Structure 1
Amino acid sequence: MNRRLVLASVAVVLLLATSGCLGFFGDNEIPEGRLDGNVSGEYEWNADADVHINISEQATYQAVYRFEGEELRLYRNDGLGSENPLYVEAVRYRYPNGSVINGTTLVARGGTIEERRDAVVVTPPADAPSDEAGQLAFTGQSSPKQFSLPTFVKGSYEIVLPEDRRLDVPILSGTTPNTDRRSEIDGRVHLYWDDVERDVISVQYYLQRDLYIFGGIVGISAIVALVGGLYYRRQIEKLRRQRQELGLDVDVSDDSDRGPPPGMR
């Protein structure tokens, strides 16, 4: 019995170790092709916000983070209290002077991009000024009609929604935390936060055509409810007539005033 228990314990430990849960084989190198992949469009280096996130129609996003410090941890929460490394590709670093390098060049110049057990950890290149903030940009994967990420950097945020996406109907959309202001530029909604202190920032939005679908569903539901109500009322009336025809509708409301039957007085 003890031998079986020991073997089972060893098997569990090996399973956790190989899956990275104990940190033993948890660090992985991001493939060079993914690290230096092509960027769809251009990263928005010159945005006023500390963090600029551009969401595309293909459920991907381009993020630019301004950060000053030893490292930047990129992760996602799995809903069970654990952190997992964030999927990143097409990594770029921009020096304060404006020059841009790719991920492998960042590593070659003394920086790091390590996919650890719980996060992707990025440190700036060794020749980056220590008293000025650089910028890190990457492409990630999102969900259709919903975007959510931890706030790796505290400060101002700007999120740009895909074309024809809206947040005007509370039932179908919303932001956490609430935005400080919004604008529409070239058919795309821009959301602004002056200073985000929350641990997570999230946006739920909808396509304009979703309003027609939602309105159609509400209209059909109302018609079904109305028809069902009329049918139910007709059935009640029909049942009442049948009871009257059978003499089952006898008014017994005044029986208490008539006293006991003859012979029982």
Structure 2
Amino acid sequence: MDLLVVGDGVDGVAAEAAAIAGVHRVRIAQDAGFLTQSAGAVVPILADLAEGYTHIVGSAGAVGRDVFPRLAARLDLMPVTDVVAVLGPNRFVRPIYAGNALETVVSGQEKHLLTIRASAFRAAAGGNEAVIEPVDHGDVTTLAKFIAAHRSQGDTPDLATAQIVVGGGVSVGSPEGFKLIESLAARLSAAVGATRAAVDAGYAPNDWQVGQTGKIIAPDLYIAIGISGALQHLAGIQGAKKIIAINTDAEAPLIKLADVSLVGDLFEVIPALIAELDRLGIKR
């Protein structure tokens, strides 16, 4: 397996990639034009390298969703997107119907373009020492112009790949109430998620939104607090291995769906849970 690293000043990233188990070679393309990871810049180099590979795989994130459809059109191939399991060289599992069902796709193409949901796969081991080599490329041009980047700062795990996620709904009632969700997440070294309603109400930032119009997650454990379980939200958590739901409504869809359900007031349950974690010395 080879990894392609594109960007500018990415020697450190390449070194980390070379340590990933199973990687034979890390190929680097460096240019200021790659900084924004725009499809216009990335697709040409991928198309040039495609001939030597049977499988071209990228993350089903913002960049992958931009790059791979264009690459597929250029190579005249049908991509398989949002892969959550690989059953063989040409058999892949992906969600359909907003995550309410899974389908197995068998591709008869000689070359496969895949985008995968990173959170559906375990992190690879380290300890490798793969070869790092530059990739020749022509002038990097793109019709899109990068203006600015605005990134939220935080020390919590990345929501898309976190193994534990604590999510809060609009029932928390205020941004201050959402601090309870953050406190519990901090003690579990978990990422923080939110429903669209909670984000729209201003209780949580947009990049915490989980669901059909937010981020798709597949943690080992999802703790849903004050979340009824609208279809749009359920579409984002279908890959969760275990779900714990805390809600005052015993008839809430997520309460019925969860592996473990607790019917109670979140403003009583969560402080008690945090206090017990503190007593047991479970802190980040």
The answer, yes or no, to whether TM exceeds 0.5 is no
- The normalised TM-score by structure 2 is 0.23
TM-score with structure 1 setting the length? 0.24
Which has the larger strand fraction? 1
Higher helix share: 2
Larger radius of gyration: 1
Which structure is richer in relative contact order (CA contacts within 8 A, separation 6 or more)? 1
